């Protein structure tokens, strides 16, 4: 079930010669390239089908190493790193000369993260540098949370995929921008804005798709089948309305009119853990639409709600 030491060393060799490896993290599987190697990052963007002006998160084995890629480490960043690293948090800081244009999308800031998954940690420690790693799927589609998902999406385009089980968190890291003035949550995740504020002081919340981040201008984290967010009280009516087959992702028990029904947990973290696998499964059912029962609107659901909104385009 877990990649061996030998496979991890092989992965390090591949990274050193400019190749791509997929590896598990606690959030989603990443597609990694040597973040200091222009040709390797170019290949990474080609496989992802991502435009060069879209910044990528660089992964490190420790805060000490990560911070060498920042020219300023505000006190809030040091505190957040101490509290949440290794873990599902990305910090955006002013970049140092070590952070090249081709990973920052030409911006003066760098997104960095120290993941907690033991396989990711071993890989990064043995590699000893920064590894650029977006989620290991084609641009715009649902992120992978298992090795099977990575293989489905990238096939032979990735030399080696390290096995690390199903990603525990299941959705991408919380991104906090500390590169200018006020701390801002750019992407909600398992670590909530309130938890960030408790450590770093007041934070603003901004959606990732502000024009500064080109990736946000396109539909993100979306299945191919049209997905629709439906309030609980309208679910029955929406199902009745459809002529063709529909798939449903809901909290309640299956309705016998629906062939493809996945029941989701009422706990937000458990829901996030299952979300991308569930969307992938329903996406293969060949339905007219995926109806998604809207979760409660309280803060613990904000990261899940963010991904559901994106899935619905």
Summarize as ranges the residues that interact with Mg ion (CB under 5 A): 134-135
User: Angle formed by the axes of helices 268-283 and 147-154, to 10°?
Assistant: 40
Interacting residue with ligand TXA among 61, 69, 80, 113 (CB under 6 A): 113
Nearest approach in angstroms of CB 208 to Mg ion is 10
Q: How far, in whole angstroms, is CA 206 from its chain's centroid?
A: 17
**164 part of the interface to ligand TXA, by CB under 6 A:** no
The one of Mg ion, ligand TXA, none whose footprint includes residue 167, by CB under 5 to 8 A per kind, is none
Say if CB 69 and CB 130 are below 8 A apart: yes
Nearer CB in complex with ligand TXA: 159/238 = 159
Bridge partners, 124 (sequence order): none
Nearest approach in angstroms of CB 8 to ligand TXA is 17
**57 part of the interface to ligand TXA, by CB under 6 A:** yes
Query: If you count them, how many residues does the chain have?
Result: 313
Task: Please identify the residue of the shown chain whose CB is closest to the bound ligand TXA.
Answer: 111
**213 part of the interface to ligand TXA, by CB under 6 A:** yes
**306 part of the interface to ligand TXA, by CB under 6 A:** no
Phi, psi of 105 (to 5 degrees): 65, 25
HEC per residue, 194-221: HHHHHHHCCCEECCCCCCCCHHHHCCCC
**55 part of the interface to ligand TXA, by CB under 6 A:** yes
x/- map, 59-78, ligand TXA, by CB under 6 A: --------------------
**273 part of the interface to ligand TXA, by CB under 6 A:** no
Phi, psi of 213 (to 5 degrees): -110, 105
**211 C-beta neighbours (distance < 10 Å), count:** 7
**100 part of the interface to ligand TXA, by CB under 6 A:** no
Please list, in sequence order, all residues whose beta carbon lies within 8 angstroms of the beta carbon of residue 193, skipping any fewer than 6 positions away. Answer: 185, 203, 205, 299, 302
Strands 227-230 and 160-161: unpaired
Task: Please identify the residue of the shown chain whose CB is closest to the bound Mg ion.
Answer: 135
Sheet with strand 160-161: strands edge to edge: 160-161, 21-23, 30-34, 131-132, 57-59, 109-113, 89-94, 174-177, 184-187, 204-205
Nearest approach in angstroms of CB 175 to ligand TXA is 5
**28 part of the interface to ligand TXA, by CB under 6 A:** yes
Interacting residue with ligand TXA among 30, 129, 130, 144 (CB under 6 A): 30
**190 part of the interface to ligand TXA, by CB under 6 A:** no
Nearer CB in complex with ligand TXA: 33/110 = 110
Q: Which residue, 266, 25, 265, 288, is CA-closest to 161?
A: 25
3-state secondary structure of 265: coil
**116 part of the interface to ligand TXA, by CB under 6 A:** no
The one of Mg ion, ligand TXA, none whose footprint includes residue 208, by CB under 5 to 8 A per kind, is ligand TXA
Nearer CB in complex with Mg ion: 103/294 = 103
Judged by the rule CB under 6 A, the positions of this chain that interact with ligand TXA are 25, 27-28, 30, 55-57, 90, 92, 104, 107, 109-111, 113, 115, 133-135, 172-173, 175, 177, 186-187, 208, 213, 215
């Amino acid at each position: 079930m877990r990649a061996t030491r030998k496979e991890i060393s092989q992965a390090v060799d591949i990274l050193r010669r400019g190749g791509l490896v997929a590896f598990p993290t606690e959030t989603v599987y990443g597609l990694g390239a040597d973040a200091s190697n222009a040709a390797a990052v170019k290949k990474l963007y080609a496989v992802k089908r991502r435009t060069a002006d879209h910044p990528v998160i660089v992964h490190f084995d420790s805060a000490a190493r990560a911070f060498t890629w920042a020219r300023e480490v505000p006190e809030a960043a040091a505190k957040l790193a101490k509290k949440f690293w290794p873990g599902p948090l990305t910090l955006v800081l002013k970049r140092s000369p070590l952070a090249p244009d081709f990973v920052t999308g030409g911006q003066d800031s760098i997104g960095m993260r120290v993941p907690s998954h033991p396989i990711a940690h071993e890989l990064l420690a043995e590699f000893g540098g920064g590894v650029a790693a977006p989620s290991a799927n084609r641009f715009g589609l649902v992120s992978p949370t298992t090795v099977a998902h990575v293989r489905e999406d990238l096939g032979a385009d990735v030399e080696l995929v390290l096995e690390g089980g199903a990603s525990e968190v299941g959705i991408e890291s919380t991104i906090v921008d500390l590169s200018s003035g006020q701390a801002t949550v750019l992407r909600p995740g398992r670590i909530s804005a309130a938890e960030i504020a408790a450590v770093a002081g007041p934070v603003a919340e901004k959606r990732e798709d502000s024009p500064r981040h080109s990736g946000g201008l396109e539909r993100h984290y979306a299945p191919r089948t049209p997905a629709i967010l439906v309030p609980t009280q309208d679910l029955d009516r929406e199902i009745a309305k459809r002529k063709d087959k529909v798939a449903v992702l809901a909290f309640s028990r299956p309705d016998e009119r629906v062939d493809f029904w996945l029941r989701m947990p009422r706990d937000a973290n458990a829901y996030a853990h299952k979300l991308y696998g569930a969307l992938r499964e329903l996406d293969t059912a060949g339905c007219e639409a995926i109806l998604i029962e809207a979760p409660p609107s309280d803060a613990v659901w904000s990261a899940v709600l963010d991904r559901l909104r994106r899935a619905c385009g």
